[in-house]
Structure 1
Amino acid sequence: MLQSKKLTLALLINAALVSTAFASEQSESKGFVEDANGSVLFRTGYLTRDYKGVEPGDDTSSFAQTAIVKLDSGFTKGVVGFGAGIIGDASFKLGKNGHTGNGMIPTHSKNNADGTKDAYDHWARGGAYVKARISNTTATYGTQVLDLPVLASNTARLVPEYFTGVLVQSNEIDNLNLVAGKFTENQYSSQINSDGNELDRAVVWGAKYTFNDDLNASYYGVDVKDKLDRHYVNANYSYALANESTLTHSFSGYHTEFEAGSLSNIETLTEDKQNSIWAISSTYSKDVHNVMLAYQQNTGSLGYDYGNNADGAQSIYLPNSYLSDFIGKDEKSLGLQYNYNFKNHGLAGLNWTSAFVYGWDIDVLGNEQEGQEREFFNQVKYTVQSGFAKDASLRVRHSYYRANDSYKSIYMNDTNEWRIWLDIPVKLF
C-alpha cells in the first residue's frame, strides 16, 4: 500500500510541475543573502495544572525563559535555487520547578526519593536544514516545525516540537497546494534528544484547493510505520449576510486505522482497530464579534488516539479542542465559543475568547457508567500594535475542566489550568 501511495504522490507532483499556470517564484529570487531573514523570539512561559482530588505532588507547574532563533537564507538565482537555515532554542528554568510533568521542561532521568524528577537548569535544542526550489516547488530537508493536520508540531508549550526529514511543497497549479514528505526523527518540546520520541518513519501527503474566496477544501494523510494510517478532510464555505456580517460553515474529520501491537492512550492493541471523528461548525462574524457553534462526534472501536501518532498530540484540527480535545470512544460534544475584539474601545490588539464544551455518551472500557466531561475556557491576549515593542504580546489562558468518575479514571482528573506567555519578537535582519 505504501508503494502505491508513493506512486500517486509522484504522479501528482509531476502533473503539477508540467502544468504551471502562473509565474514562477524561483524566477523572482533576489539571492541567497538578499532574501535572507533572521529573528529571535524571547518567550517567558508559565504553565500550571491544579489537579483536584489527588495528592498535591501530582500537580504540575513550570516557569521558564527561552530564546527561539530562526535564521533563513534566500534562494540562489537560477533555474534551481538553493538555500539553508538554522532553527533552535536555548532555555533556562525560573525557580525550582519541582512539579514538572506537563511537557514544558525536560527532566533528568533519575528519580528523587519522593519519585519526582529534577528539571534541567538550562538546555538547548535545534538543528539545520537545506532547501531547493524549482519554479513554484520547494523541497526542504532537515529540522523543521510542521503545521499539517495529520502531523503537527506542538507549539503550545515553551518551545516548539521538531521533526527531521524532507518535505516537498508545490504550488504549480493556481489555487492548488500539494505537500509530500517523510520524517524519521521527532523531538517533543520537553525532550533533549533530537529523536526523543523514537520515530521510525512517518510518510505524509496532502492537497488543499481554493475554489474561490468563499470556498476551499483539503485532504491530508499520514502513514506511521507499525502504528497507524490516518486521513483528514476539511471544507469551509463562507458567505455574506446583511449588515456587513459573515457566516462560515466548516466540516472536518479524521479516519484512522490502528495496527495491532501499537500502544494507545489506554491499552495495548491486540488487533487492528479504527476510529472516525468528525465535526461541523458554523461561525457568525460581525465587526468585533465572532460566535462559533460546533458539534463533534466519535465512532469506531476506540477513541481518537493521538498517542499512536508521531507528534506531541497536536494533530487534532477540530473545533472542540482546548485543554481537552473531547476524543473519547463514541463521545459526542457540543461547543460554543465567543470572541470579542476591543478595537472599538481604543484597544486595538486586545482580544478575549470564551468557550464552553460539554461531552457525553463516552464508552468507558470495562465500566457500565457512561463518561461525561466539560470545560470552561477563557483567554485574553494583547498584542502591541506599534512602536519599539510592536508585535510583542501577552497571553493569559485559563481552563476549568471537570469529568465524572467514570471518565476521569482513564483520561484526566478534574483540573484548573493556567497558561501565561509573554512573547517579544526581535527581527535580526
Structure 2
Amino acid sequence: MPKAQKLTLAVLIQAALITTAYASEQSEAKGFVEDAEGSVLFRTGYLSRDKKNGKADTSSAAQTAMVKIESGYTQGIVGFGVGIIGDGSFKIGDNKNAGNNMIPRETLNGKENSGDTYDHWGRGGGIVKARISNTEVRYGTQVLDLPVLASNTARLVPEYFEGVLATSREINGLELTAGKFTKDQYSDQINTDGRHLDRAVVWGAKYKFNDQINASYYGLDSKNALERHYVNANYKQALANNSSLTYDFSGYHTKFDANAKTYSATGTVAPDYADSMIAGEEKTNNIWAVSGTYNTGNHNVMLAYQQNSGNVGYDYGENADGGQSIYLPNSYLSDFIGNDEKSAQLQYTYNFAGMNVPGLTWTTAYVYGWDIKVKDVTDSAQEREFFNQVKYTVQSGFAKDASLRLRHSYYRASDAYQSAYIGDTNEWRIWLDVPVKFF
C-alpha cells in the first residue's frame, strides 16, 4: 500500500480515539428505528443526441423509482446500522437507438450490453455501517461523491460501487476519507461489476480553514488502470451589498497504466490502439483550472480557464474510476479534456426569485477549446459548446421539492477532432423528479 494511503488510514484510526472539542455524532444517536429514514425518488428521464456528419443518433426515455431506506445507529459507544439502496425502471417507447448510458441492453453473442434494450430492470444492494464518535465506516453498495471516484448521477439511475468507505470528522473543520472498492456498476448495466473493477483504493482530506477558505486533496489507485491525485483550493471574498467574489483552483495528475484505456494518446502506442484504445505503455496527464465567480443579488457570473498537458488527455470512466470523476469547471456535454487542450468559459446564472418566481433558475455558458493534439493528424484541433439549462423546483404544497430540468447543448468541433471525441452533436436532456419521503 502506498505511504499516503497508510498515513491516511493511521490518521483515521487515531482520530477516532482522541477526545474532540465538539459534540460526538454517536453520542446523540436516538436509536436504530428512531433515526431511520426512507424515501423514493420517481424520475422520468429523456436524453437525445442529434448527431451530425453521418453518425447515428441516440435517444432514450425511461421511468424509474429510486429507493433508499436506512436505519439509524444503535445507541452506545459504537453504533451499528443497515440500509438498502436500489432502483426499478422501465423504458418508454421502443428505444431502438438507445444509448447514452441510460437503458441496459441484453447480452448478444457473449458480449454484454450489446443486444436489445431491456423493457424493465432492477438493481440495488445493501449496506452495513458502524460509527464511533464522529467516525463512520460503511460497507456495501454505495453512490460515491469523491473527486477521484465519483458515481455518474447524470443519467436515469446512478452508478453503484461496492466496497468499504471510512469517513472521519473528529477534528473540527477536517474530514478524512479512506476506502477500497471492488465492484463498479454503470448506470446502464445489470451486471453488478459491469466495469470489471479489480481494486480501487481511495484516500483524501478536506479542511475548512474558516468561512472564506477551503482546501482538499484526494488520491486514487485503481489496480492495473491508473493512479490519480486531485487538489483544490477555494477562497470567497465578501464585497459590499451582499456581493461576493469566489476564486477557485482545481487540478488532477494522472498516471495511466499500460493496460488502461485512453482515447487521446499521442506518442508511441500499440499497433492495435485504434481498436483497443489501450496505449500499451504508461501515459501521463496533468489538467488544472482556475475560475472566478462574481455573485450579486440574483446574478452569478463565472470566468474559467482550463489546461491539459502530458501525452494523453484526461480520460476517465473507462478505467473503473467513476463516470463523473471530473470536478472541473469546463464540463458540460464536452469536458474539454483533449490532449494538450486549453479552454476558456463564460457562464451566467440568473435566479428568477428576483422576478417573484422562486425556484426557477437559468444557466447559460459558452466554452471554447483549442490547441488539441490529435494523434497523427494535428496539434491545433478545436471544439466549442453553447450550453443552456432551465430548472424549476416546486417550493411548497403537496408537490414540494418536485423539479423539472431542461438542458440543451450545441456542440461543434473541427474536422480533425470529429472521430477522436464526441463529434458534432445537438443534445437534449429532460428530467422530471418527484421525491417522496416515507419516514
**Number of matched pairs:** 423
Q: State the alpha-carbon separation in 2 of the partners of residues 307 and 87 from structure 1.
A: 22
Task: Give the counterpart of 1:83 among 81, 84, 98.
Answer: 81
Q: Give 1:210 shift.
A: 0.1
Partner letter of residue 351 of structure 1? T
1:177 aligns with 2:175: yes
1:153 aligns with 2:151: yes
Task: Give the counterpart of 1:303 among 313, 330, 339.
Answer: 313
Mapped contact 2:159–2:323 kept (Cα < 8 A)? no
Mapped contact 1:154–1:311 kept (Cα < 8 A)? no
Specify the SS of the correspondent of 2:241. helix
Per-residue CA shift, 1:29-54, capped at 9, x if unaligned?
A: 00000000000000000000000111
Q: Give 1:409 shift.
A: 1.8
Task: Give the counterpart of 2:297 among 273, 277, 287.
Answer: 287
- Name the counterpart of 2:36: 36
Q: Equivalent residues in 2 for 1:345-360 (5 A)?
A: 345-360=355-370
- Name the counterpart of 2:271: none
Partner letter of residue 47 of structure 1? L
Q: Give 1:3 shift.
A: 4.5
Q: Give 1:5 shift.
A: 3.5
Structure 1 range deviating more: 62-71 or 341-350 = 341-350
Per-residue CA shift, 1:192-228, capped at 9, x if unaligned?
A: 0111111010000010000000100000000000110
Q: Equivalent residues in 2 for 1:105-116 (5 A)?
A: 105-110=103-108
Per-residue CA shift, 1:385-408, capped at 9, x if unaligned?
A: 000000000000000000001111
Specify the SS of the correspondent of 2:107. strand
CA separation of 1:48 and 1:312: change in aligned 2, threshold 3 A: farther
Q: State the alpha-carbon separation in 1 of the partners of residues 320 and 254 from structure 2.
A: 13
Which runs of no fewer than 5 residues in structure 2 stay unpaired? Answer: 265-276
Specify the SS of the correspondent of 1:410. coil
Moved over 4 A (4+): none
Q: State the alpha-carbon separation in 2 of the partners of residues 420 and 124 from structure 1.
A: 22
Per-residue CA shift, 1:363-418, capped at 9, x if unaligned?
A: 11111352100000000000000000000000000000000011112111100000
- Name the counterpart of 2:274: none
- Name the counterpart of 2:340: 330
Task: Give the counterpart of 1:228 among 222, 226, 244.
Answer: 226
Q: State the alpha-carbon separation in 2 of the partners of residues 11 and 140 from structure 1.
A: 18
Q: Give 1:88 shift.
A: 0.2
Q: Give 1:308 shift.
A: 4.4
- Name the counterpart of 2:53: 53
Q: Equivalent residues in 2 for 1:224-303 (5 A)?
A: 224-266=222-264, 267-303=277-313
- Name the counterpart of 1:409: 419
Specify the SS of the correspondent of 2:190. coil
Q: State the alpha-carbon separation in 2 of the partners of residues 117 and 60 from structure 1.
A: 15
Which runs of no fewer than 5 residues in structure 1 stay unpaired? Answer: none
Mapped contact 1:264–1:307 kept (Cα < 8 A)? no
Q: Give 1:312 shift.
A: 4.3
Per-residue CA shift, 1:274-328, capped at 9, x if unaligned?
A: 1000000000001100000000000111111104432443100000000000000
CA separation of 1:279 and 1:53: change in aligned 2, threshold 3 A: same
- CA-atom RMSD in angstroms: 1.3
Q: State the alpha-carbon separation in 2 of the partners of residues 246 and 99 from structure 1.
A: 46
- Name the counterpart of 2:140: 142
Q: State the alpha-carbon separation in 2 of the partners of residues 307 and 95 from structure 1.
A: 28
Partner letter of residue 420 of structure 1? I
1:15 aligns with 2:14: yes
| TM-score after normalising by structure 1 | 0.96
Mapped contact 2:314–2:339 kept (Cα < 8 A)? yes
Mapped contact 1:182–1:204 kept (Cα < 8 A)? yes
Structure 1 range deviating more: 117-126 or 132-141 = 117-126
**Percent of aligned pairs sharing the same letter:** 67
Partner letter of residue 401 of structure 2? D
CA separation of 1:280 and 1:19: change in aligned 2, threshold 3 A: farther
Specify the SS of the correspondent of 2:378. coil
Q: Give 1:6 shift.
A: 3.7
- Name the counterpart of 2:67: 69
Mapped contact 1:265–1:307 kept (Cα < 8 A)? no
Q: Give 1:9 shift.
A: 1.9
Q: State the alpha-carbon separation in 1 of the partners of residues 40 and 214 from structure 2.
A: 33
Partner letter of residue 53 of structure 1? N
Specify the SS of the correspondent of 2:106. strand
Mapped contact 2:262–2:312 kept (Cα < 8 A)? no
- Name the counterpart of 2:120: 122
Per-residue CA shift, 1:239-298, capped at 9, x if unaligned?
A: 111232100000000000111122212432222111000000000001100000000000
Q: Give 1:19 shift.
A: 5.0
| TM-score after normalising by structure 2 | 0.94
